[in-house]
Structure 1
Amino acid sequence: MWKFGLLTTLALLCSLPCLASDSGHLSPIGERVDSFTLDNCYGKPVSLDDFSESNAIAIVFLGTECPLAKLYGPRLTQIQQQYSDRGIQIVGINSNKQDSLTELAAYVHRHEFGFPMLKDPGNRIADTMGAQRTPEVFLLDQDRVVRYHGRIDDQYGVGYSKERDAKPELTLAIDALLGGKAIDKPETEAVGCHIGRVKEVPPTGSVTFTKDIAPIFNTKCVNCHRDGEIAPFTLTSYDDVLGWEDTILEVIAENRMPPWYADPDHGTFANDARLTSHQRELISTWVDNGMPEGDPKDLPEPPKFVDGWQIDQPDQVVRMRDKPFSVPAEGVLDYQRFVIDPQWSEDKYIVASEARPDKRGVVHHILVYVIPPGQQRRDLRQAIAGYAPGSPPLELTDGIAVEVKAGSKLLFEMHYTPNGTTTEDLSYVGFRFTNKQNVRKRLQGRLAIDQRFEIPAGVANHTVKATYVVRQEENLISMSPHMHLRGKSFRYDIRFPDGRKDTLLNVPNYDFNWQLKYILDEPMRLPKGTRVECTAVFDNSKYNLANPDPSKPVRWGDQSFEEMMIGFMDTVPVEDDLR
């Protein structure tokens, strides 16, 4: 009857599904690093002894596709420039088996690194120094003794990002070292992707990539993990996967990938992205057995992805603005909003819409809202197009359409994720229309919303509730909980007029980076008088690492440092409402 593509996957760092941190390994603080020689990205040998006159050396392990390594590349160049006249030298090392010299050279050129970048074949230096992640820093004094180890700063972590006033741990350590003072915090937790090491396990066993693993990745992963999409590395071939196996196992074990946060005890959803227990076991077994490739004849046909429009040729294409928007190379970029007039002089009945990113590598989501005629603000109930990696367009059949009044304007809400390179984007949306006489029912956006709450400063569990009451019998199609950085959990409960109660959707671990639309496997009939009760819990404490400022109370607002409490729903009336 209908297909919905308003999967509002907001990921500040979709680009960060591979991130994690390490603890428990032996500290390198106080250990001396012996000299070594590696080729740089252009094949020229570079020795640690070449920097014998330097007062300190910051050895930083990096990877070409790790999101943090991309984001921190320009920052490391800034640090090199800032401290070069004080005898500080940054040296980058790439130990990933999956990164070739050609890829490394392209990475250096793209991000205009101002420091040498060396290749570590067989991860020999990484093993010697005990490096685990990218990026991971070892700050050596003039005697080549490790005095600081860990991250560059604390701006980015697993599932969170901070504004640029993050604590600059590396530069604080450099300042202390140059000043002859003790480093206050000599070791921090390195956060990033696993270094892709060469494994010594010979490939064995009956579980192979071509027969068992490729079908899983094709179904669950490559929508986003392919060339041109926003995910940080590709999973479209056997060679693509090699080097990422430790990261893959980690994000699966921690239920961070594929992104899906619904409690399985409540509701059945058509777009459930979870891996089955059997699929998890196959991947784990395959890695443990040395990742055999298998017979190429067993390799399934790769999934087909549309380069052009997924809907039929649009009747109208609307761009988000007159000129491209410049996405910076790094940092935290809040929502960008652009208002455009589509010049609709008559009521429109939309039967298909498709939002398309101009630059997929930096566009994580697009939402297109209606601003009704004569008004200045968007109608939250009318999100008429959306894009997120892997989400289908909106396509309606059987006489169902979205009605938009003449004179309406459109608001593009753009969520960008910087990827280390300044990028110009000019995204757009296409619409297909029908005549009013062809429409029987209107797709309706419904809300359970509270805009008057206040979350006290420092409180870890603050509950806000809102209710939607059904005014006419309708079918519930989907639910989309929406909060910002302090969101902790969200639940939809239902109370029928006859007294029956149930939980429609429970999201116990809400993640601002991945706000999903949960599409019911079958529409649910909601009689008149039914109450959909939404309960949101917020964490405004210092223990919420994504919290912009736990010292202040928080109220409603559009930006992510403010908060929202909305239970979005899509419904269709049971009876015809336009005939």
Structure 2
Amino acid sequence: MRWVRKLVKMIGVRFDWFNASNASLSHMILQRISFLIVLVCFHAMLAGISAMASGSEDESAAIIGSKVADFTLDNCYGKPVSLSDFDDRHAIAIVFLGTECPLAKLYGPRLTDIQQRYADRGIQVIGINSNTQDSLTEIAAYVHRHAIGFPMLKDLGNVVADAMGAKRTPEVFLIDREHKVRYHGRIDDQYGVGYARERDAEPELTRAIDQLLAGQPIGVPRTEPVGCHIGRVKAIEATGEVTYTKHIAAIFNAHCVKCHRDGEIAPFTLTRYDDVLGWEDTILEVIADNRMPPWSANPAHGTFANDPRLSQRERELIETWVDNGMPEGDPRDLPTPPEFIAGWQMGRPDEVIKMRDHAFRVPAEGIIDYQRFVVDPGWDEDKYIVAAEARPDQRSVVHHILVYVIPAGERREDLRQVVAGYAPGSPPMVLTEGVALQVKAGSKLLFEMHYTPNGTEQDDLSYVGVRFTNNENVRKLLRGRLAINTEFVIPAGESHHVVSATYDAHTEENLISMSPHMHLRGKSFRYVAHFPDKTSKVLLDVPNYDFNWQLKYVLAEPLRIPRNTRIECTAVFDNSESNLTNPDPTKPVRWGDQSSEEMMIGFMDTVPVNDDF
């Protein structure tokens, strides 16, 4: 795609020159020349798109049947290992891996299991790391951390990756005794970018191995590898005025490093120049796909205080910098790095409550449904909370936390009362100006935990901190509002099933934030306010809902909601096979707590306009 960006930039320059130097030409001639240029570019673009659409498939087809030349690479301990060392094997699975790629972390243990299951049948797994950003020390740490049971080799200068046409981590090349590629693609379809299927994986690699050992044709010789780009050594000389120190570091500091730093859930760090090298293709891909920074709101509706998106100018700076070979620049131009509070962001809490009395073991891989832990904080009087902060114990596997109130005498949580929530980069709840969250005496707390395995077992004991005030200091109570529908049935195979719910404002209040909530079949979500004067306004539109990012959308300015306003929430669900995260498209789906079931909730936070306490 870089040639497309360069062509667009080149055309832009030419139009600027033409308009400045030939202003005397007639408007008609300009229109016709512009039309011809656009027509030529349009045909070129169509040809490029066609080539790109078929390029990946054509390249993979050409790989099948090709012969892999012998190579010798050092393993992670510096010992040379050759492909020919395994000539006595019936077949060899060559897998390209990276130390920080989330999918490579998850599939490392699975590949070890394949090696152990097939070793006595003459199958050998070989891992190759071609990333310029991964050192031998880091590869050795990956081997130990994930208990890798097959050779891991370092491909300096990505020579073998280039020779074999490898592009991603993980990416598999299954070769036979003659070193001919018989299968190329992914290990299985369990994990992808941003999702994990809640069903048994299609065992594509092991199925190909079984067919090869049985002397049968490979039924599916090609699948599409999914994962991070291999961090290749660049042949481009670093040039240009856009540099890391003067331009790019500030962008990463503002939008990325709150998650992409040591100890956080993001898969690699972006705090230094050397951290970025090798990740540039992956960075460009996730920016182009609008996967990072995570944000799902349609910009046509609403302005939000916590909008993390890159501006068009920032996107262009990153693209230009990568295109120009990523010059580092003058160290004196480096901006002051952001400071992250190691302790409590909200200040010292009055009380800290753990999610339970012992840690929860997060497995190395697989699907973990919501974990729900009930805690009795022993509150024998009403509490007025002015600050709350949920904190993960193991940040690398805790995706998000929600802490609900279970009212005294009740068995279920009150969905309208959320004490605290955590997602990577989220701020704590801090209330000011006499606003507080009231929790009645005898209430319990429910910790709802969402974990994402990262390839190694982790023991997590997350917690929440709260700070209180006296009731005489409270003027207004923070109110949780809901538009909720629990009576729906999503038909099996239905790709566009609409469910709606409403909230009616019985008093005048200020809307502070909105949080749409669905599970794995969620497709889109929209909030629309219908005001008493018969006018309507879209408050929030999420056209591509992503279960992986349970986002709260905080309005830049509170919105006055008059009495008798109706807020309508409309959710769309996809229960079809085309939904990659769908656990089972053959079954109808109803309301339920677990992610294999569904929910339809439009969460809202409001504060009364007038004092109510």
TM-score (norm 1): 0.96
1:95 aligns with 2:130: yes
Q: Does the aligned pair in 1 maintain the 2:101–2:228 contact within 8 Å?
A: yes
Question: Which position in structure 1 is the counterpart of 2:59?
Answer: 26
Structure 2: distance between partners of 1:495 and 1:30: 63
How many residue pairs are counted as aligned between the two chains? 558
Question: Which position in structure 1 is the counterpart of 2:360?
Answer: 325
Q: Does the aligned pair in 2 maintain the 1:355–1:387 contact within 8 Å?
A: yes
SS in 1 for 2:427: coil
Question: Which position in structure 1 is the counterpart of 2:499?
Answer: 464
Q: Does the aligned pair in 2 maintain the 1:33–1:129 contact within 8 Å?
A: yes
TM superposition outliers: structure 1 runs of 4+ over 3 Å: none
Aligned residues: CA RMSD? 1.0
Query: Within 5 Å, which residues of 2 pair with 1:19-418?
Result: 23-24=56-57, 26-27=59-60, 28-163=63-198, 165-418=200-453
Structure 1, residues 140-191: CA drift from partner, whole Å, max 9, x if none?
1111110000000000123321135110100000000001111110000000
TM-superposed CA distance for 1:337, in Å, is: 0.6
Structure 1: distance between partners of 2:84 and 2:193: 36
Structure 2: distance between partners of 1:355 and 1:252: 29
Structure 1: distance between partners of 2:168 and 2:58: 12
TM-superposed CA distance for 1:392, in Å, is: 0.7
Q: Which amino acid aligns with 2:535?
A: R
Structure 1: distance between partners of 2:567 and 2:609: 17
Q: Does the aligned pair in 1 maintain the 2:199–2:583 contact within 8 Å?
A: no
Question: Which position in structure 2 is the counterpart of 1:541?
Answer: 576
Q: Which runs of 5+ in 2 are unaligned?
A: 1-53
Structure 1, residues 280-324: CA drift from partner, whole Å, max 9, x if none?
000000000000000000001110001111122111110000100
Q: Which amino acid aligns with 1:223?
A: K
Question: Which position in structure 2 is the counterpart of 1:12?
Answer: none
Q: Which has the higher helix share?
A: 2
Q: Which amino acid aligns with 2:605?
A: D
Structure 2: distance between partners of 1:482 and 1:555: 15
Q: Which amino acid aligns with 1:303?
A: P
Q: Which amino acid aligns with 2:168?
A: R
SS in 1 for 2:424: coil
Structure 1: distance between partners of 2:382 and 2:549: 34
TM-superposed CA distance for 1:527, in Å, is: 0.8
Structure 2: distance between partners of 1:529 and 1:348: 30
Structure 2: distance between partners of 1:225 and 1:98: 15
Structure 1, residues 328-387: CA drift from partner, whole Å, max 9, x if none?
000111111100100000000000011111111111111100000001111100111111
Q: Which amino acid aligns with 1:43?
A: G
1:477 aligned to 512, 516, 536, which one? Answer: 512
Q: Does the aligned pair in 2 maintain the 1:22–1:189 contact within 8 Å?
A: no
TM-superposed CA distance for 1:505, in Å, is: 0.7
Structure 2: distance between partners of 1:233 and 1:573: 43
Question: Which position in structure 2 is the counterpart of 1:560?
Answer: 595
The answer to which structure, 1 or 2, has the higher relative contact order (CA under 8 A, 6+ apart) is 1
Structure 2: distance between partners of 1:186 and 1:37: 26
Q: Which amino acid aligns with 1:305?
A: F
Q: Which runs of 5+ in 1 are unaligned?
A: 1-20
Q: Which amino acid aligns with 1:367?
A: L
TM-superposed CA distance for 1:25, in Å, is: 5.2
1:422 aligns with 2:457: yes
Q: Percent identity?
A: 74
Structure 2: distance between partners of 1:33 and 1:68: 25
Structure 2: distance between partners of 1:262 and 1:190: 29
Q: Does the aligned pair in 1 maintain the 2:297–2:541 contact within 8 Å?
A: yes
TM-superposed CA distance for 1:22, in Å, is: 8.8
SS in 1 for 2:111: helix
SS in 2 for 1:492: strand
Tell me which structure has the larger Cα radius of gyration: 2
Structure 1, residues 177-232: CA drift from partner, whole Å, max 9, x if none?
00111111000000000000001000000000000000000000001000000000
Question: Which position in structure 2 is the counterpart of 1:570?
Answer: 605
TM-superposed CA distance for 1:260, in Å, is: 0.8
TM-score (norm 2): 0.90
SS in 2 for 1:23: helix
